[in-house]
Amino acid sequence: GQNIDQPTEMTATEGAIVQINCTYQTSGFNGLFWYQQHAGEAPTFLSYNVLDGLEEKGRFSSFLSRSKGYSYLLLKELQMKDSASYLCAVRHTAGNKLTFGGGTRVLVKP
């Protein structure tokens, strides 16, 4: 089976940094995605990691350790518009399906 855990909620201040952790247990691992979802909207793609290490894209970075079943999404220089849910999703080799974690709601305060 698959099990993906991430914190339910985090609060941070505008301009600060926040790190969202995601741990997973799965068979047939074929990559990990991070998506951003604003309330009532569809998820938008942020990052994809399939190899160990850090992927940096502007203010957002994502890290993966396959041996530890662990990933994190790092958001730097937080802006008010970054208030959203951040979804960790594991891709499986069987059928390219994604299994999503419960999502982490990030609230950015002034």
Partner 1 sequence: GAVVSQHPSRVICKSGTSVKIECRSLDFQATTMFWYRQFPKKSLMLMATSNEGSKATYEQGVEKDKFLINHASLTLSTLTVTSAHPEDSSFYICSAQGTSGRARGETQYFGPGTRLLVL
By C-alpha distance, which of 43, 42, 41, 45 is closest to 57? 45
Part in contact with partner 1 (CB under 8 A); list of ranges 16-24, 54-62, 74-82, 96-104: 96-104
Residue 67 interacting with partner 1 (CB under 8 A): no
Q: State phi, psi for 104 to the nearest 5 degrees.
A: -120, 120
Minimum gap (Å) between residue 15 Cβ and partner 1: 27
Interacting positions 69-88 with partner 1 (CB under 8 A): 87
CB closer to partner 1, 16 vs 50:
50
Neighbouring-strand partners of residue 100 = 89
Q: How far is CA 90 from CA 19, 45, 96, in A?
A: 18, 13, 10
Q: How many residues are given for the chain?
A: 110
Contact with partner 1 (CB under 8 A) among 1, 45, 53, 81: 45
Q: Does 14 bind partner 1 (CB under 8 A)?
A: no
